[in-house]
Amino acid sequence: MQPNILIATRTYQDWDAKTLIEYQLQDRMYRKPCGSFVLMIAGDKPGDPEVETPYSLQAVYRWLQDLPWQIERTVIASQVV
């Protein structure tokens, strides 16, 4: 079974309104071996479980264009045989 391919990671700051503690969260966009896309959304606080949300190709493009300064795109190297 092939693993999911990481396309990009969005890193952003959030804070707890009760404690006023700031923390960093990450959402990650993947392409599945079947060709579909999924966004792993960070939980509300560090340590909370991620939520897997399916995305269409058009939604992936919109996600990449929304707040692009927060996104680090993954460089995928291919090997020619």
Give tens-digit pLDDT for 4-15: 999 999 999 988
Domain spans, the chain: 5-71
Give tens-digit pLDDT for 24-61: 889 999 999 999 999 999 988 778 899 999 999 999 99
Question: Are the C-beta atoms of 41 and 25 separated by less than 8 Å?
Answer: no
Residues 6+ apart with CB under 8 A from 18: none
Beta strands in 1-81 (DSSP E): 5-15, 22-31, 37-41, 51-55, 71-73
Q: The whole model's pTM is what?
A: 0.80
* C-alpha distance across the termini of the chain, in Å: 21
Pairing label, strands 71-73, 37-41: unpaired
